[in-house]
A and B are shown apart, each in its own frame.
Chain A
Amino acid sequence: YILKCTFPWFGMDIGGTLVKLVYFEPKDITAEEELEEVENLKSIRRYLTSNTAYGKTGVRDVHLELHNLTICGRTGNLHFIRFPTAAMHRFIQMGRDKHFSSLHTTLCATGGGAYKFENDFRTMADLELLKLDELDCLIQGLLYIDSVGFNGHPECYYFENPSDTQNCIKSPCCLDNLFPMLLVNIGSGVSLLAVYTKDNYKRVTGTSLGGGTFLGLCCLLTGCETFEEALEMASKGDSTNVDKLVKDIYGGDYQRFGLQGSAVASSFGHMMSKEKRDSISKEDLARATLVTITNNIGSIARMCAVNEKIERVVFVGNFLRINTVSTKLLAYAMDFWSKGQLRALFLEHEGYFGAVGAFLELLKSSDDA
């Protein structure tokens, strides 16, 4: 009798803004198993795999699904689901309603919410969380997904010709060795990690100017309500109506210091003037907010990379989801300011690595048992 980890297999990452959930859907269920499978489990599987949206705010990122993954002797698909942390209590209630606790599975969770909501899980749904460190999970999850690839394609990509907006194209890349890398995780806030090996890393620094700041400021400035809305507006706006550029002050380049006229001298600098404030569009404001936050992350990442003597900078986190403005800007900033020394790398599963890491821990914990 081989001790197998009981289904369902979940990994959860409860962040400041979003909850990320990965779910393994076994595709090799035998008829015998099917018979034995409790109704509860079946209904959970059916609910998750037959829908792409859950409630008002839950979403399954179908395009990220990994097919025919073999793990711990089982083959199946890995699903990627997210919903706002604000809906956490509804999620816990659902767990109670569906009698999740009767399945006797371990719920592996990481992110700050694993600590914050631990007690709620216990009292509301009779569920015990196995709490895991978010940075450990992030790295293990990232390395795993990178190793299995993205349904036959590389997980990793970069931008060719990052400094040339016309010819800047996304292009997949397969790296034999990711180490050492500077891992920049952009969620609500930002953490920067220097990763030397699978088990050897340190958090170099962090900044509070992250995805939460972008969305928060956008909500206040434009009245938008969602990340998608904010990005949509930003894609239509022009930040140079909001930001003061070097040429706005010097008439051209600031040659004494080799600064191009098109460089941003002061983010939101034009907004010091009342006339300009009165004539600005919401789209321009959204774009400027996005550019400001992105450039700042780029700048801190670059400085850390130089200080840590690391050439590869890997950007992850849900801030980069459907956000080509930022990914291209980061690629450009790394390349331009380092004179080609640094390379920005991105991963397709942006914000899910923590959840994947938690999921892997689940399997590991049953192995140990």
Chain B
Amino acid sequence: MALCGVADTGSHSMDKSITLPPDEIFRNLENAKRFAIDIGGSLTKLAYYSTVQHKVAKVRSFDHSAKVSLQETDGDPLYEISVQEEITARLHFIKFENAYIETCLDFIKDHLVNTETKVIKATGGGAHKFKDLIEKKLKLKVDKEDEMTCLIKGCNFVLKNIPHEAFVYAKHADSEFRFQHTHPDIFPYLLINIGSGVSIVKVEAEDKFERIGGSSIGGGTFWGLGALLTKTKRFDELLQLASKGQHTNVDMLVKDIYGGAYGSLGLTGDLIASSFGKSATTDKEFSKEDMAKSLLHMISNDIGQLACLYAKLHNLTRVYFGGFFIRGHPVTMHTITYSINFFTKGEVQALFLRHEGYLGAIGAFLKGAEEDNPNQYSWGENYAGSSGLMSVSPELNPIQRARSGTFDMLEMDRLERQLVNLPLLQDATSYIPDTVDLTEDALAREYWLYCFEEALDGVVKRAIASQKDQPEAVERAEKFRQKYRHKLQTLRHQPFAYGSLTVRSLLDTREHCLNEFNFPDPYSKIKQKENDMALKYYLKVVKSVEELSWEQRQFNLVKGLLAGNVFDWGAKAVSDVLESDPEFGFEQAKQQLQERPWLVDAYNQWIERLKGPPHKCALFFVDNSGIDIILGVFPFIRELLIRGTEVVLASNSGPALNDVTNSELQILTERIAAMDPVIHAALKEDRLALVQNGSSSPCLDLSRLDKVLATVVRERGTDLVIIEGMGRAIHTNYYAMLSCESLKLAVIKNSWLADRLGGKIFSVVFKYEVPSKAQGQH
């Protein structure tokens, strides 16, 4: 009663006439190794591991040992920027119809250079059928892997590495897919795989799972019985029929027996008492549509009921559904969801997976790659290379995919760092980084999509400007423009394509697309220039602050922090000002700031707190380079250090907009330490530490941070978290609850957003929060 795939149904006509768009599919095949294939009843899923060579911007400090005074560095850039080739690992998954399998195998054979590969891992019902063909074409030995093991491995992988993998299906909601933010602790869960039969698997740990039950009434029953009843051959056509039918013509309802509801038991009149009950007692013809619908309800309800009985018995609330019966079909997702709601009275939600179709292939691949320890790493979905989730309902999918509609792709990048939760989250399981879910907020979605499209010209311009020496940069930038615009168009029609649509995901997608076309760091030179300029003013700013009274000084430091944050090339309004008026200075920025009381103003509480004992250790998530970090953040943390608080500065691991990266910050800090004995001493005594956050995003996901950062935070007994900037403190984490004190501050540099929050452009958010229950930090 087990089974996942559908084996050997129908015959396949090999279509060799199609030509594959090589730029788009089977990318990076030259370096591919470790193939895996999952052949189902109608779709083939191919997986391979490849290395991608791409350019990264590196910064390297000049030797300043000979020049100690500030004056001497005048005119010289602080550090050198070089573009280097870097090799990273990427997983490619491609899904196509079985009809294309021979063409695809030929294509792979022609492009596969790597001769080390000897075997291909295979799973799925069709693996056996195509074994000879694969071995002949690719000269690789086919190595079969257990279907269920692959499925579970794949499921664990996507749940762990793709934060918005799972979703709830709501047919009549504005967005039919409601994504769940996957908690880092994914176990235990129940996987109900509805293939030709149903398997119910309890998964307790990476390698610990058990088939606790199943049923023979599954997708094969719907298909087989449906074909007999309606003379319709194809599964999809049967679903089509079902979506048009009325089951009440065929089923015996409670009201057919009672004349109304069975009130004392709370059974409503519309409840099905007996599936197909009317066809036993009525002598009439039933329409194909009605019978298909009745059959669909019968099978979905039955599976839902069993799933609930097993979930209850094993006390599990996370129940994922997969298998070809589900695979992106709104009709079956709807009936299964309905059934689960009915039987559990809403206590259990039916969850579905964006990459459900890939689980077998991913698992087979992971089995083959065990020696590379793929589970030791964190992986991230590459938005540039992945097709995203498509709605199968035609009215929701009006635009055809630009590339061949039969190919679907998923690419996962191996991340340099292993990512974990910030230990200071009050409740990691309920933490949601993003403030606004654009999949659900149509108005906000419209605005931001428009905003990103408007800004595209500027981004293209900047990308070209960052590589003036390379003539073909123009062409690449144009390709970037097309790709990102296409992504935005897709998202306009299918906001759910990559999980919940958020400002963060829009920003990240842009970064991925830029990287895709070798624009690793379009802001590198601007950042360099700004850093140089700001450093010249550092001592002046520090000195002017030192002369103030304590109260005045605290206010000035906070204002400096906020004014620094105005300098943000990421926000369009600011980049306009900066480009037209480069003299727009730090002091002027302070003038621009909203007068107190601010839009969100907890300054008085903060000052009261500062009159108390110093914090043990402050973790500061920094934002922009240049004036922000040098003239805003450093004077502020300098004061903290003097108070006796240790400081950990967390910056991005890789470039994103003009955000300061960890390697840039290392150099800047060195330079500041050379001028400022306070910083110098703090560095030397390890009271000031620089760590990377593991991300290359202008936003911040506190559930996916560098493991080292988490360790440092824990070891130092961090009792204050400061999050700065729109991307990290407004678009994300605005509602994040921490178990220690926190400061979230930003200047709203977008008039639409300011308006939404009830303020004007350059409104100030200064949010100081103390957890309701003291966690014993003091």
Q: Which residues of A contact B (CB under 8 A)?
A: 15-17, 84-86, 111-113, 115-118, 133, 135, 187-189, 203, 205, 207-213, 215-221, 242-244, 246, 249, 254, 256-257, 259, 263-274, 277, 285, 292, 295-296, 299-300, 303-304, 306-307
A303 near B313 (CB under 8 angstroms)? yes
Across the two chains, which residue of chain A brings its CB closest to B224? A271
A189 near B227 (CB under 8 angstroms)? no
14 examples of A-B residue contacts, CB within 8 angstroms = A112-B259, A113-B258, A188-B273, A207-B301, A208-B273, A212-B275, A216-B274, A220-B229, A249-B7, A249-B196, A266-B3, A266-B219, A273-B8, A273-B9
Asked if A274 meets B2 with Cβ closer than 8 Å, knowing A213-B274, A268-B220, A300-B305, the reply is no
B224 near A270 (CB under 8 angstroms)? yes
New A-B pairs, 11, CB < 8 Å, besides A213-B298, A295-B216 = A16-B256, A113-B258, A203-B265, A211-B274, A212-B275, A212-B281, A256-B148, A266-B196, A266-B220, A303-B306, A303-B313
Chain A positions within 8 Å of B148 at CB level: 256-257
Chain B positions within 8 Å of A84 at CB level: 281
Across the two chains, which residue of chain A brings its CB closest to B301? A208
Q: Kindly state whether residue B657 has any CB partner on chain A within 8 Å.
A: no
A277 near B228 (CB under 8 angstroms)? yes
Across the two chains, which residue of chain A brings its CB closest to B6? A272
Chain B positions within 8 Å of A263 at CB level: 1, 216
Chain A positions within 8 Å of B392 at CB level: none
Query: Per-residue CB proximity of B178-201 to A under 8 Å, as 1/0?
Result: 000000000000000001110100
Q: Is the interface of A mostly helix, strand, loop or mixed?
A: helix
Please report the C-alpha to C-alpha distance between residue A306 and residue B309 in the assembled complex, in whole angstroms. Answer: 10
B215 near A307 (CB under 8 angstroms)? no
Please report the C-alpha to C-alpha distance between residue A269 and residue B264 in the assembled complex, in whole angstroms. Answer: 39
Please report the C-alpha to C-alpha distance between residue A215 and residue B275 in the assembled complex, in whole angstroms. Answer: 10
- The 8 Å CB contact of B302, one of A17, A207, A266, is A207
Q: Kindly state whether residue B291 has any CB partner on chain A within 8 Å.
A: yes
Asked if A268 meets B225 with Cβ closer than 8 Å, knowing A112-B259, A213-B275, A249-B125, the reply is yes
Query: Per-residue CB proximity of B126-160 to A under 8 Å, as 1/0?
Result: 00000000000000000000101100000000000
Across the two chains, which residue of chain A brings its CB closest to B312? A307
- The 8 Å CB contact of B217, one of A208, A211, A292, is A292
Chain A positions within 8 Å of B227 at CB level: 271-272, 274, 277
Please report the C-alpha to C-alpha distance between residue A203 and residue B286 in the assembled complex, in whole angstroms. Answer: 33
Q: Kindly state whether residue B277 has any CB partner on chain A within 8 Å.
A: yes
Across the two chains, which residue of chain B brings its CB closest to A85? B281
8 Å CB contacts to A: which residues of B1-39? Answer: 1-3, 6-10
B251 near A208 (CB under 8 angstroms)? yes
8 Å CB contacts to A: which residues of B254-270? Answer: 254, 256-260, 262, 264-265
Q: Kindly state whether residue B279 has any CB partner on chain A within 8 Å.
A: yes
Across the two chains, which residue of chain A brings its CB closest to B294? A216
B1 near A219 (CB under 8 angstroms)? no
Q: Which residues of B contact A (CB under 8 A)?
A: 1-3, 6-10, 125, 146, 148-149, 195-197, 199, 211, 213, 215-221, 223-225, 227-229, 233, 250-252, 254, 256-260, 262, 264-265, 272-281, 286, 291, 298, 301-302, 305-306, 309-310, 312-313, 343
B302 near A212 (CB under 8 angstroms)? no
A217 near B225 (CB under 8 angstroms)? yes
B216 near A213 (CB under 8 angstroms)? no
Chain A positions within 8 Å of B196 at CB level: 244, 249, 265-266, 269, 272
A221 near B220 (CB under 8 angstroms)? no
A285 near B228 (CB under 8 angstroms)? yes
Chain A positions within 8 Å of B229 at CB level: 220-221
Central interface residue in A209, A215, A306, by most chain B CB within 10 Å: A209
- In the complex, what's the smallest C-beta–C-beta distance from B273 to chain A, in angstroms? 4
Please report the C-alpha to C-alpha distance between residue A111 and residue B262 in the assembled complex, in whole angstroms. Answer: 10
A112 near B228 (CB under 8 angstroms)? no
A299 near B313 (CB under 8 angstroms)? no
A268 near B298 (CB under 8 angstroms)? no
Chain B positions within 8 Å of A203 at CB level: 265
Chain A positions within 8 Å of B281 at CB level: 16-17, 84-86, 212, 216
Asked if A267 meets B257 with Cβ closer than 8 Å, knowing A216-B280, A299-B306, the reply is no
- In the complex, what's the smallest C-beta–C-beta distance from B40 to chain A, in angstroms? 13
- In the complex, what's the smallest C-beta–C-beta distance from B3 to chain A, in angstroms? 5
Chain A positions within 8 Å of B310 at CB level: 303
Chain B positions within 8 Å of A243 at CB level: 216
A112 near B254 (CB under 8 angstroms)? yes
Across the two chains, which residue of chain A brings its CB closest to B229? A220
